[in-house]
């Protein structure tokens, strides 16, 4: 791009039972031999690789509302000097307060915004759009909640418009059918959300190679400014690593 702005690449650390897991179509699977089972060490590795932001998903929190992984989250936040974005199990303002106190910089909310709109609005009013964004887990144009396990019957189009009206300025967009499959990203989905909301978009799921990163970077003018990648990064599928590791200053907003 002539402006020098780069797509921000964000490594994902998905945690279940205190260990790093691989997630395929929304279903977490232990894969310790391939990826290593220590989320804290993984965060340190990504920091050493010069990434600018880490995305963490707590599947125990999302499915069971368990907080057993919170000490690990806090240790990650203490161990690295880059921001941590968190998703999984935040249902109340008290939950949010606790995870922010652990050191998390931004929350990606899904279920709470669907099931308890009044509480979510209070949360958003307390922390604002730089601290709270919306995670869109989508399958066949339908919004999924509760760690991608519950089909809501709600159109993601209607929901995103409601969130924009509240004041949301960033969406994390994931086509669950592509997540962790290395079958290619659903770029059109992220593009569509950007077009109908005018918000900033973080794409998630399906990215396999640098060419697909370039396809996403072409959407920068629409507001698609970042991408969350899990399996492809863990499997070292990007030979031109320096290409994406220069993040635009001020991207975290």
3-state class (DSSP) for residue 156: helix
Q: Who's near 31: CB < 8 A, 6+ residues apart?
A: 20, 21, 22
Q: Which residues pair with 93 in a beta bridge?
A: none
Measure the CA–CA gap between 118 and 103, rounded to whole angstroms. 25
Active site residues: 14, 137
Tokens of 179: 């997540």
Contact 139, 175 (CB under 8 A): yes
Q: Who's near 214: CB < 8 A, 6+ residues apart?
A: none
For residue 132, what is the enclosing H or E element?
A: strand 132-139
| Phi, psi angle pair for 244, to nearest 5° | -110, 0
3-state class (DSSP) for residue 140: coil
Helix-helix angle 117-127:156-166, to 10 degrees: 40
The residue written with tokens 């031999």 in the block is: 33
DSSP 240-252: -GGGT--PPTT--
The residue written with tokens 């977490």 in the block is: 28
Measure the CA–CA gap between 187 and 182, rounded to whole angstroms. 14
Give the total residue count for the chain: 253
């Amino acid at each position: 791009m002539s402006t020098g702005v780069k797509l921000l690449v964000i490594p994902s650390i998905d945690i279940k039972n205190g260990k790093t897991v691989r997630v395929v179509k929304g279903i977490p699977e232990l894969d310790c031999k391939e990826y290593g089972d220590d989320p804290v060490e993984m965060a340190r590795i990504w920091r050493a690789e010069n990434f600018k932001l880490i995305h963490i998903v707590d599947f125990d929190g999302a499915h069971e509302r368990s907080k057993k992984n919170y000490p690990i989250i806090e240790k990650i936040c203490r161990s690295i000097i880059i921001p941590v974005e968190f998703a999984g199990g935040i249902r109340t303002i008290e939950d949010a307060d606790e995870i922010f106190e652990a050191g998390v910089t931004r929350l990606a909310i899904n279920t709470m915004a669907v099931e308890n709109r009044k509480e979510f609005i209070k949360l958003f009013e307390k922390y604002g759009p730089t601290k709270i964004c919306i995670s869109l887990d989508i399958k066949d144009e339908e919004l999924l909640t509760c760690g991608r396990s519950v089909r809501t019957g709600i159109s993601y189009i209607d929901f995103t418009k409601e969130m924009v009206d509240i004041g949301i300025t960033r969406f994390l967009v994931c086509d669950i059918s592509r997540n962790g499959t290395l079958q290619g990203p659903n770029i059109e989905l992220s593009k569509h959300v950007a077009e109908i909301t005018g918000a900033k978009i973080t794409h998630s799921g399906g990215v396999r190679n640098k060419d697909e990163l370039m396809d996403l970077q072409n959407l920068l003018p629409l507001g698609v400014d970042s991408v969350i990648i899990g399996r492809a990064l863990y499997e070292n599928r990007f030979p031109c690593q320096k290409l994406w590791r220069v993040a635009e200053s001020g991207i975290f907003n």
